[in-house]
Structure 1
Amino acid sequence: MPSRDKLLRSAQTFCDAFSEKQDVQTLLSYFSATHEVSAIEYGLPVLAAFLGKPFKGKSGIRQYFELIGSLLSYNNMSFSEYLVDSETMKVSVKGAATFTWLSTGQSWDEIFTYTLDFDDELKLVRYQVWADSGAAFLAGHGKLRPESELHTTT
């Protein structure tokens, strides 16, 4: 069983590659070639095409990352608060970024979490995302109001 430090480094390396906007092929290289792999971003599928459905196998994960890239861009992505469980080979991490829905140009600041499951070779087998699906839905429909409009003075 890999050490906690090695597991943490593997998670950080993947998160760094994502935050640095590495290409899809590079991101896929972090996933296991010997185990069934999957990615899922939780939420109602009606809110966005990438939500609520598991993307399985490397071809499915490629489809997920390409779909995300066709709909969204992001800036200033950072990760913190890594929680490492070396017995279950899982790492949970908090992320933050500014996302933009490409077709509408609407942006929002978001906090999200990943849970990453690894195999014994420190390759990803399951990638789970919890994010602000409501903001994505509103931005995708051009209805995301600036935060300044949400606060009213009395």
Structure 2
Amino acid sequence: MKSYREALLQRTHSLTSAFSNPSTPLSDLLSNFTTDPVPTAHEHGLAELAPFLGREFKGHEGLKQYFGLLDEYLVIERMEFEDSHRWGVDVELGVVVLRGSARFRAKETGKGWDETFVYRVELVDLDGGEVKVCRYEVWADTGALYLARCV
């Protein structure tokens, strides 16, 4: 039987693998999230810079909106995450913190930039021992996004 730590790492790996593969259907990405408690996504930054920044997206409908906005505004290429042995794991809180990097391009201008970002993934243990994501947070370089969106 796997440990709770292993379950946290496995679900986080499933989420990052789904997100970093552009051909992953949205339904597969969303399958990593809980339905109860209500899942949330929050990308930190000024809401004035992009409609997916600085606000809370709640429930699966909110997650669909968040990931839809990312797809509407950005092209994400070469997304990679550091090795999971470097991830910060807090078993008591059910939190995994990790770093990733990717090449981003603003769809409206075609301007691109390379960026490193941080995820904080909070997970819960559901009945039956399944672990799912209940809170997904991102810290990224919103200034680079702003500059790339300027014509």
Q: Name the TM-score, length of structure 1 as normaliser.
A: 0.88
Q: Which residue of 2 aligns with 1:147?
A: none
Counterpart in the other structure of 1:99 = 104
Equivalent in the alignment of 1:129: 138
Q: Match of 1:4?
A: 5
Match of 1:113 in 2: 118
Q: Do 2:35 and 2:59's aligned partners in 1 also have CA atoms closer than 8 Å?
A: no
Counterpart CA distance in 2 for 1:135 and 1:73 is 14
Q: Which runs of 4+ in 1 moved over 2 A?
A: none
How far residue 83 of structure 1 moved from its aligned partner, in angstroms, is 1.1
Task: Select the residue among 60, 76, 79 that pairs with 1:77.
Answer: 79
1:9, distance to aligned residue in structure 2 (A): 1.2
Unaligned runs of 5+ in 2: none
**Residues 24 and 66 of structure 1 are in contact (CA less than 8 Å); yes or no, is this contact kept in structure 2?**
no
Cα contact 2:77–2:103 (8 A) shared by 1: yes
**What is the SS of the residue equivalent to 1:49?**
coil
Tell me, what secondary structure is at the counterpart of 2:101? strand
Deviation at 1:23, TM superposition (A): 2.1
Q: Count residues in correspondence.
A: 142
Unaligned segments of structure 1, at least 5 residues:
143-154
Secondary structure of the structure 2 residue equivalent to 1:99: strand
Q: Which amino acid aligns with 2:91?
A: S
- Looking at structure 1, the residues matched to 25 and 106 of structure 2 have their Cα atoms a distance apart, in angstroms, of 19
The answer to whether residue 75 in structure 2 is matched with residue 66 in structure 1 is no
Counterpart of 1:131 in structure 2: which amino acid?
A: A
Computing the radius of gyration over CA atoms, which structure comes out larger, 1 or 2? 1
